[in-house]
Structure 1
Amino acid sequence: MLNQFSRTELLLGHEGMEKLSKARVAVFGIGGVGGYTVEALARSGVGTLDLIDDDKVCLTNINRQIIATRKTVGQYKVDVAEERVHDINPDAVVHTYKMFYTPETASQFDFTQYDYVVDAIDTVTGKIELVEQANRAGTPIISCMGAGNKLNAAAFEVSDIYKTSFCPLARVMRYELRRRGIRKLKVVYSREQAMTPIDDMATSCRQNCICPPGTARKCTQRRQVPGSTAFVPAAAGLIAAGEVVKDLTGVRND
């Protein structure tokens, strides 16, 4: 019988779709990268999704975040994403956490219950903690490196963290993971050299922050607000979702 996933089943087969429907995937960070990851996982038929993000949709998110529209500004990102997932697949189970993932909040998550983890958060401390927790639980994880200040969506690659180059965030992650004895990590990273954002205070979020009321971490608290586009973070998020689907089903054509 035809359903919303029939075209995917033509490539992954019935067994592959069954694996996806029974899978539970956690996506940490529902922004420019993570939002597209959630979208693709939902459209691929993943049965259970855990969405973790404490942020609200801001007007400045509309340029790149699939959950961001004029209608959703001011709403929690995880709530908007949950609604989109259920519009795509009413049978999907969605767990939402309005939480900023840090080493201090890590104990609230049991990584053994996940079949896969996607790291789409920005902070190094949080990313390192995610990798350590996933490794302890024996849960596969893919980590997305920097997507800000870039224009070339075709420059992304999937690689092990220790084979990356160019990306400053990947360099820091390599150093920190090596110190902790973690020998491998699948990542999505870009070989493009980051651009320097135009220094224009008229369009600077640091000087003219318009974050919605109740936003926990405003732009004025950030060291730098990176430039972004509609297509670069989207590409990273879709690539990450593709790796999750291929790994969970065992179907690859690389």
Structure 2
Amino acid sequence: MLNQFSRTELLLGHDNMEKLKNARVAVFGIGGVGGFTVEALARSGVGTLDLIDDDRVCLTNINRQIIATRKTIGQYKVDAAKERILDINPDAVVNTYKIFFMPDTADAFDFSVYDYVVDAIDTVTGKIMLVEAAQKAGTPIISSMGAGNKLDPTAFEVADIYKTSVCPLAKVMRRELKKRGIRKLKVVYSKEKALTPIDDTANSCRSHCICPPGSARTCTQRRQIPGSTAFVPSVVGLIIAGEVIKDLTVH
């Protein structure tokens, strides 16, 4: 019987579609990267998605985040993403957590219940904790490296963290993971050197913060506001989704 996933089934087959339907994937960070990952996972038929992010949609998210529209400004990102997922697949199970993943919130999650974990957050402390928790539970994880301040979507590739170069975030992750005895981690990264954002105070969130009321962490708390585009973080998110789907199915 034809359904919304019929064209995918022509490539993956019925058995693999059943695997995706029965899979549970957690996506930490529902922003420019994570939002597109969630979108692709939902459109691929993943049956259960856990969405973790405590942020709200801001006007400045519209340039790159698939969940961000004029209509969703001010909504929690996980709520906006859940609504999209259920419009795509009403049978999906969507669990939302308005939580900023850090040491004091890590105990809220049982990583053994997930078939896959996606790290699309931008704090090193949180990323390392995610990797440690997932690997301790024996759950596959893929991590996004730096996507801000870059313009070339074709430069991104999938690699083990210890085979990366150029990316400053990947360098920090290599050092910290090595200290902790973690020997491997699948990542998506780019060798493109990051650009320096134009220093324009009239167009800076640091000078004119417009974060929605109730936002837990405003732009004024950040050391630097990275520049971004519609076509870089989206590509990273889709590459991640492709890796998750590939790893969850058998070809």
Q: TM-score range by the shorter chain?
A: over 0.9
CA distance in 2, matches of 1:240, 1:26: 13
CA distance in 1, matches of 2:144, 2:28: 11
Counterpart position of 2:37:
37
Map 1:21-100; keep pairs closer than 5 Å. 21-100=21-100
- Specify every segment of 5 or more residues in structure 1 that has no aligned partner in the other structure, as ranges: none
CA distance in 1, matches of 2:105, 2:47: 25
Counterpart position of 1:123:
123
CA distance in 2, matches of 1:191, 1:25: 28
Counterpart position of 1:158:
158
CA distance in 2, matches of 1:10, 1:191: 35
- Specify every segment of 5 or more residues in structure 2 that has no aligned partner in the other structure, as ranges: none
Partner secondary structure for residue 32 of structure 2: coil
Partner secondary structure for residue 189 of structure 1: strand
- Whether 1:19 aligns to 2:19 is yes
CA distance in 2, matches of 1:167, 1:103: 25
Query: How far 1:250 sits from its partner (Å)?
Result: 2.3
CA distance in 2, matches of 1:180, 1:152: 32
CA distance in 1, matches of 2:12, 2:130: 29
CA distance in 1, matches of 2:179, 2:207: 37
Q: Read off the aligned partner of 1:49 and give its amino acid letter.
A: L
CA distance in 1, matches of 2:116, 2:188: 15
Counterpart position of 1:177:
177
Map 1:89-238; keep pairs closer than 5 Å. 89-238=89-238
CA distance in 2, matches of 1:158, 1:77: 26
Q: Read off the aligned partner of 1:158 and give its amino acid letter.
A: V
Query: How far 1:104 sits from its partner (Å)?
Result: 1.3
TM-score, reference length from structure 2: 1.00
Can you list the C-alpha shifts for 1:173-217, whole angstroms capped at 9, x where unaligned? 000000000000000101111000000000110111000000000
CA distance in 2, matches of 1:2, 1:192: 42
Can you list the C-alpha shifts for 1:99-128, whole angstroms capped at 9, x where unaligned? 100011111100000000000000000000
Q: Read off the aligned partner of 2:225 and give its amino acid letter.
A: V
Partner secondary structure for residue 188 of structure 1: strand
Counterpart position of 1:9:
9
TM-score, reference length from structure 1: 0.98
Q: Read off the aligned partner of 1:8 and give its amino acid letter.
A: T
Number of residue pairs matched by the alignment: 251
Query: How far 1:16 sits from its partner (Å)?
Result: 0.7
Identity of aligned residues (%): 80
Can you list the C-alpha shifts for 1:80-113, whole angstroms capped at 9, x where unaligned? 0000000000000000000100011111100000
CA distance in 1, matches of 2:81, 2:102: 21
Partner secondary structure for residue 33 of structure 1: helix
